[in-house]
Copies of this chain bind each other. A is one copy, B any other.
């Protein structure tokens, strides 16, 4: 967090340039998709010369590996943001939690991730790199859902119910990819919330509510 007195300004500038390139790469991935996102386009977007971009990231592959790390980090930050914006207890708590969790699947970084998953599903190298990040992130989101819903996962059936809920939210977000799905989405989230509430009560899964 503190700036080391020993770190020369050149190194700082380097890091700033790298950060700008990675941010630009993630933005470009989300906006233009994988195939259209060239190193040249990323450099232009970052306001960096192509030569400077190649100095930091010699190949497209190196740039996008780093960009994917960045993307996963961005999604982790979104998870933290959701943790810190806990909805208040009270009626409709489950419904509010679903809205909160849905945010994780509805931003530019989810859209960029779908592009990456789609490529990775047919690219063994990329898959090997992406999988561990996705697995860790998946566990974090699961923990977050358990904590927001305040359920006891040691009760049989609770874990699968939470997983179903996250699968549902992911599928809901996918429907939003091609058109603004918000009007259709509301009653669908209502339906899920009712069913989830009933099921978790039935399993006696709630604690602290």
**Chain A residues in the interface with B (C-beta under 8 A):** 30-36, 111, 114-115, 117-123, 127, 130-131, 134, 157, 159-161, 163-164, 166-175, 177-179, 184, 187-188, 190-192, 194-196, 198-199
Contact = CB atoms under 8 A, between A and B. Distances in A.
A160 B177 contact: no
Contacts of A169: 171
A172 B174 contact: no
Contacts of A117: 114, 174, 177-178
A130 B178 contact: yes
A82 to B, nearest CB: 18
Nearest to A130: B178
9 contacts: A33-B122, A114-B114, A114-B174, A157-B191, A161-B195, A166-B171, A167-B171, A167-B175, A170-B171
A200 to B, nearest CB: 10
A40 to B, nearest CB: 15
A112 to B, nearest CB: 9
Contacts of A177: 117-118, 120-121
Given A30-B122, A33-B123, A160-B188, 18 more contacts: A33-B34, A33-B119, A34-B35, A111-B122, A114-B174, A117-B174, A118-B177, A120-B178, A127-B178, A130-B178, A131-B179, A160-B191, A167-B188, A169-B171, A170-B174, A170-B175, A171-B173, A195-B199
Nearest to A35: B35
B184 A163 contact: yes
Contacts of A187: 159-160, 163
Contacts of A188: 160, 163-164, 167
B120 A118 contact: no
A177 B119 CA distance: 10
